[in-house]
Amino acid sequence: MSEYFLCLILFCTGLYCILRKRNIIKIIVGLAIIEYSVNLFLILIGYRFKGRAPIFALGQEIPNMVDPLPQAVVLTTIVIGLAVIVVAVALSVRIYSKYKTFDITKIRRLRG
Amino acid sequence: MKPLALFIIIPLATAFLIALLGRRIKNLGDVLTNMAGAGLFILACSIIPGVISHKVLTYKTGNWPVILGSSFIVDGLSMLLLVVINLVCCLVMVYSLSYMEKYTDKWNYQALFMLMIAGLNGVILSADIFTLYVFLELASIAGYVLVAFSTEAEALEASFRYTIIGSLASVCILLGIALLYSFTSTLNMADISLIIASRSQQGQLLNFVSVLFLAGFGMKAALVPFHAWLPDAHSSAPSPVSATLSGVVIKTLGVYSLIRIFFNVIGTSSNLLNCLVILGLASMIAGAFLAIAQNDIKRMFAYSSISQVGYIIFALGIGTPLAVLGGLFHLLNHAVFKSLLFLNAGAIERVAGTRDLTKLKGLAEKLPLTSSTALFGSMSISGVPPFAGFWSKLIIIIAAIEAGHPIFALIAALVSIVTLVYYLKFQAGVFFGALPSAFANIKEAPLTMKMPMVVLAVLSVAGGLLLLPCCREFLQSAVKAVLS
């Protein structure tokens, strides 16, 4: 049970970073944290108590195995998350060269 | 059915080839993207008879059974969106030929655009909820980069906001998928809906999942409490990109996914439908009133998109077959005339060098074609009769009255008048009046930019013909797919 609470705390930390931090690098870190918390949650869903990896061998029976599907899903979401972070970091580099600041409250040319 | 996989293979292969060879071979990107665009549109049209007669087409990846593999499915609703997406993308590719000349790395734009089309088609086709998520992210990431394509300060800022809000939306959706998987132990959409329907004790989990999906897809569709990114992103992007983002991306990623998940997978409840009605009304009203205040034409069109998507969501929230028909018809019409208007804005910006309503004036005599097509688009979106937009709004309003919401119907009619007001402001500001001397030497846009505008203008009138008995089956099969 405590794992789920830790996962929730991680999620809230990420959300706090995105909503409250002014530095855009910290916002991107918050995004990474929130993505990892959801990945962790997916892994927890697939876990069975004292479960084993679902790898079959000849003449062997595994009575209690973890669900492999969430693990496959998490591998994909990690790659997607990486792509998003790369885009965000590349954008922040270009933003810095245009605005000379990482402060999100000063990056405000669009209005209305 | 083989052709279904082609909807994803063609754009992905094109994107790969252009990214690999575009820098070395000069016109490769132009040729390949236009061939791919036209091919995809023909392909989308070619599946219409099959879907109308068979109801559902399926493609099994690697011949796995539907429940185990990630298969593709096309029903009436997917068919409607496939046709709309590939039509708009095909025309936008033609338009980009000369519009994107001003950027030095046009091939990157074309490769990214093809990736976005692959993502959009994938969202429409996928039969399981996680494949939908993967394609949704593919389209979104390509969208984030395309918004920043001009690398001007405003575009970068808008793109950063879009990236953060879009990723937050994706996280909500992924969390929803995780919870739904833990509840049903499957990712296939048809299977999930069967399992949910068979459980008698549903508890609060489904409500929580609904809220997550509503927030996630609501952010992607820019419904009103979640709309902050849209005006920035859609007005800072290059015009062909804005046309696609406003015309099809928010509808595919937001509205289509919302319909698919709520009407076909989780199942609708009266609470949810009320939520949709309220969100729709809020978007409709707020979008329209914010649009009046804008002086930047693309920003005005962006707010107008929020308002029109509000109509679609409102119609879906009413939930009767007539209302859903109106909503889907409005979705199709909006894709046509909003991309037309953004292409017009691009043509105006290209020749006049500004999008500011206070600086533009009297362009009608210099740009006869742009001004007449823009008039078609504006009249259609404000719901003036014979134009297609009138019929879809009329159906939505009649459906609202029939369902016992006369006040909401009145609001929808009034917002339509507000829409007419700000489109008249656009027409009067840009095209009427005396031509300033600064614009004395401007010329009409080249042929490749005119052609898509004319086609879309014709469609914004001819769209109304879809309600004729001989063509009605196209929309009816989509309505049946939503409500089945």
Question: Are A27 and B159 within 8 A, CB to CB?
Answer: no
Is residue B99, in this structure, part of any structural domain at all?
no
- Where chain A has pLDDT below 70, the residues are 111-112
Number of domains in chain B: 1
Is residue B288 domain-resident? yes
CB contact under 8 A, B160 and A88: yes
Residues with Cβ within 8 Å of B370's Cβ and at least 6 positions away in sequence, in order, are: B344, B347, B348, B363, B444, B445, B453
Looking at residue A39, which CATH number applies to its domain?
1.10.287
Structural domain span for residue B408: 268-484
Q: Is residue A105 part of a domain?
A: no
> The dihedral of CA B481, B58, B255, B296: what is its sign?
negative
- Alpha carbon distance A91, B337 (integer Å): 31
Is B311 within the bounds of a domain? yes
Is residue A111 domain-resident? no
Is residue B452 predicted with pLDDT exceeding 80?
A: yes
- Give a yes or no: residue A7 inside a domain: yes
Question: Is B64 domain-assigned?
Answer: no
Residue B2 CA to residue B374 CA, distance in Å, equals: 40
* Residue B345 counted as domain residue: yes
- N-to-C CA span, chain A: 46
Is A14 part of a structural domain of the chain?
A: yes
Tell me the C-alpha distance between B155 and B239, whole Å: 12
Total domains present in chain A: 1
Q: How confident is the model at residue B289 (pLDDT cuts 50, 70, 90)?
A: very high
Q: Which residues of chain B neighbour A88 with C-beta distances below 8 Å?
A: 160, 163-164, 167
Flag if A83 and B141 touch (Cβ within 8 Å).
yes
User: How far apart are the C-alpha atoms of B432 and B424, rounded to whole Å?
Assistant: 10
B90 located within any domain: no
Residue B1's SS3 state is: coil
Domain that holds residue A69: 2-48+65-99
Helix (H, G, I), strand (E, B) or coil at B237: coil
Q: Is A72 inside any structural domain?
A: yes
Residue B440 lies in a domain: yes
Candidates B164, B289, B304, partner chain A, best to mutate (most A CBs within 10 A): B164
Q: Per the domain annotation, does A56 fall within a domain? A: no
pLDDT digits (tens, 9 = 90+) for B157-189: 999 999 999 999 999 999 999 999 999 889 999
**Residue type at A95?**
I
pLDDT digits (tens, 9 = 90+) for B216-238: 999 999 998 899 899 999 999 99
Residues 6+ apart with CB under 8 A from B56: B73, B74, B75
* Cβ–Cβ < 8 Å for B342, B239: yes
Give the least confident one: B5-9, B95-99, B331-335, B440-444. Answer: B440-444
- ipTM comes to 0.94
Check: CB of residue A69 under 8 Å from CB of residue B187.
yes
